[in-house]
Structure 1
Amino acid sequence: MGKRAGGKSILANFGSFSQPDTAVPDVPGADAGPMVAQPLARVGAGVIGATQRSLTELREERDRLKALVDAGGGVDIDPKLIDPSPFPDRLPDDDDLEFAALKTLISEEGQKVPIQVRRHPSHEGRYQVVYGHRRWRAASDLGIKVKATVLALSDVELVVAQGIENAARQDLSWVERALFAKRMDDAGIRSRDVRAALSVDDPELARFRAVSRALPVEIIEAIGRAPKVGRPRWTALADAIGNDTSALDRVRKALSDDKVSALPSDERFKAALAAVTPPVARPRREMKLRSPAGRVVGKAMFSNDDVRLSVASGHGQAFSDFLEGELPGLMERFFAREGEA
């Protein structure tokens, strides 16, 4: 996307507040009237300009705007009028304990920090979240209005602002960042703006893209955030699926198992990786079979492919008859342990 009409830079737009049908309140103690961001120097060529410098300026501007907001800015909006960001950057958490705690806090003490929204580009009277999705959800669940600050942002500016906020919190998992990059690519966001939003270089962006292209979105979503799983193992899973046409079906089957789907996301990832990882061949193992008195009467040999038993001739026929009668019960116990009827 090119520059916005009028040539405003990201910094100018990021500091351009608008409020829905209400005046912006004065900031207590401010010397210069209402809460309006002061003009900043234009960024160099293009929307991002000198990437490192502009990102630093954006972070400083975000912190300055937050200070103004904390001093009393923001307006109350019905959560029903707000939609999520068009560029989702989060996968569901394994549990809702933290979200429940946030709702309790807002219910008891009120919303301390406004969320950031922009006016919906195609639906009059509606808004889209820039960041603050959890506070918006909490207000919606509680049936109360959400305090919000309305920013004038293009799609490019939205993803950059969203990415900066996530980088500040540093709580997106590796695969969430890869999925965020894919969604920006799908929306036609330019590579340099994707890099700016994620604060990554070309090689890391290439790895995000390789993984998100090899793994269908529904597989990533079925696994989840997997916060303890980093780039090497996600890359290994993507490579395994890319090199084996049947691997994707095995991963789908593993993730569809009720026991696996009930596990935390890091464990779901392990199940998916195990489904495409060839079993490690173990050496043949031997066990001596002893009588209650400790006398060796035979041996059992185990390998990945078979089990062999041999018993001394004095017990061979009797043990064979005994084992034949016990095997059906052993098989039932084995499959019950494996979770099969």
Structure 2
Amino acid sequence: MGTSLMARNIFNQPRKDEEESAGPSPAPIKSSKLPGSVGGLRESLREITANSIRDIDPDRIDMDGLRDRLILEDSSIEDLAESIRKHGQQVPIMVRPSDQPDRYRIIYGRRRLAAIRKFGGTVKAIVRTLDDDASLIAQGQENNLRLDPSFIEKSLFIREMQEAGYKPSVIQDALGLTRQGVSNHRVVLEQLPDELIRLIGPAHGIGRRQWGDLAALSEKVPLVDIAREILAGLPDTTPSSDKFQTIYVACTSEARGTTNQSARSQTTVVKDKSDRPVGTLSVDGKSIAIKITRKDNPGFCQWLEERAATTLQELFEQWQNERGSGN
């Protein structure tokens, strides 16, 4: 299983939509042709079978193997399910025969399989007979054309592969990384508590340097305790990358001694009379920030944008007047 199986880095420039073209599939293992027309016919039938797409009941497919995502059930799965329901499954998944009769094991396409299971029906699948190493590399190659795994997801995937006993060369082929690249991911992961990663999530867009900076604070501050306190004040819909940034700022401030336990950065969710979130108010030792999400409140965002500067000036003048009268 050499590097020739890996044409490029699987985590560069991902394609995120179900309707996009499928990635390269591993070629079926060729056997020596039998002499004469019988051998040619058997070879042709073997090639047709290897490349055919079958409709399979999702209940016959086992979700085994190594996970390369922190989150499999999220809003993107709902969007994917709706897209497939409207337009059909444009890109097949890949499975391999199970040891149990009439069952299969997933190689790649876990998100598509999860989406189709939401509304029922069969799933289009390519069936290939691959060993564990070839399956792992196929999974890595195909991910190049799907939702890009984040740095921390790749790090967890590396750890799973190593603990499962895969050879370094297979891991490098699956991820398109050098030995040093694999080591860089693993070193950062070893410094981070698993619970902290679970609390933050995949954090797309947060790279090795940022995760490394957070990991370096593990010896100075209680990362998990701070993360729990910060996340308790954030909406459940807060993007994972925003969770990371908020936690990192709080941990950095704690490590520098710029805030004490009671003055640590706090985020409050402001709600309307119907108990629906309007926005968030974040306060720390350096600033006060008001955040309104356009997706949740597009009309209010537009209204506030048109009046923000004037409103801030009025508040400042009110403060000056009250301060003057108080003196």
Among candidates 142, 158, 170, match of residue 181 of structure 1: 158
Change (3 A) 1:260 1:94: farther
Equivalent residue letter for 2:85: S
Q: Is the CA contact 2:195–2:224 (under 8 Å) kept in the aligned structure 1?
A: no
Deviation string, structure 1 residues 230-254 (Cα, Å, up to 9, x no partner):
110011112221x23x523434423
Deviation string, structure 1 residues 107-150 (Cα, Å, up to 9, x no partner):
233222211012235x4443222111122112211111111111
Percent identical across equivalent pairs? 31
Q: Is the CA contact 2:81–2:116 (under 8 Å) kept in the aligned structure 1?
A: yes
Change (3 A) 1:250 1:105: closer
Indicate yes or no: 2:118 matched with 1:141.
yes
Indicate yes or no: 2:252 matched with 1:277.
yes
Among candidates 24, 30, 47, match of residue 36 of structure 1: 47
Q: Is the CA contact 1:94–1:265 (under 8 Å) kept in the aligned structure 2?
A: no
Q: Which runs of no fewer than 5 residues in structure 2 stay unpaired?
A: 7-24, 30-42, 259-284, 286-322
**Structure 1 residue 199, shift from structure 2 partner:** 0.5
Indicate yes or no: 2:143 matched with 1:131.
no
Query: Which residue number in structure 2 is paired with residue 118 of structure 1?
Result: 96
The aligned runs of 1:55-204 (5 Å cut-off) are 73-92=52-71, 96=75, 98-121=76-99, 123-169=100-146, 171-204=148-181
Indicate yes or no: 2:251 matched with 1:264.
no
Q: Is the CA contact 2:65–2:107 (under 8 Å) kept in the aligned structure 1?
A: no
For 2:173 and 2:182, locate their aligned partners in 1 and report how far apart those are by CA, in whole Å.
11
Deviation string, structure 1 residues 163-198 (Cα, Å, up to 9, x no partner):
111234471211111111111112111112111111
Change (3 A) 1:249 1:103: closer
Whose RCO is larger (CA < 8 A, sep 6+)?
2
**Structure 1 residue 37, shift from structure 2 partner:** 7.7
For 2:193 and 2:257, locate their aligned partners in 1 and report how far apart those are by CA, in whole Å.
30
For 2:186 and 2:179, locate their aligned partners in 1 and report how far apart those are by CA, in whole Å.
10
SS of 2:47's equivalent in the other structure is coil
Change (3 A) 1:191 1:274: same
Q: Which runs of no fewer than 5 residues in structure 1 stay unpaired?
A: 4-8, 18-31, 39-64, 283-303, 305-318, 324-341
Worse-superposed segment, 263-272 or 214-223: 214-223
**Structure 1 residue 265, shift from structure 2 partner:** 0.3
Change (3 A) 1:217 1:129: farther
Query: Which residue number in structure 1 is paired with residue 18 of structure 2?
Result: none
SS of 1:271's equivalent in the other structure is helix
Indicate yes or no: 2:32 matched with 1:16.
no
The aligned runs of 1:224-235 (5 Å cut-off) are 224-235=201-212
For 1:127 and 1:153, locate their aligned partners in 2 and report how far apart those are by CA, in whole Å.
12
Q: Is the CA contact 2:5–2:173 (under 8 Å) kept in the aligned structure 1?
A: no
Change (3 A) 1:254 1:126: farther
Q: Is the CA contact 1:177–1:208 (under 8 Å) kept in the aligned structure 2?
A: yes
Larger radius of gyration: 1
The aligned runs of 1:201-216 (5 Å cut-off) are 201-216=178-193
Q: Is the CA contact 1:83–1:127 (under 8 Å) kept in the aligned structure 2?
A: yes
Among candidates 250, 253, 258, match of residue 225 of structure 2: 250
Equivalent residue letter for 2:253: P
SS of 2:105's equivalent in the other structure is strand
Q: Is the CA contact 2:77–2:114 (under 8 Å) kept in the aligned structure 1?
A: no
For 1:143 and 1:93, locate their aligned partners in 2 and report how far apart those are by CA, in whole Å.
18
Query: Which residue number in structure 1 is paired with residue 263 of structure 2?
Result: none
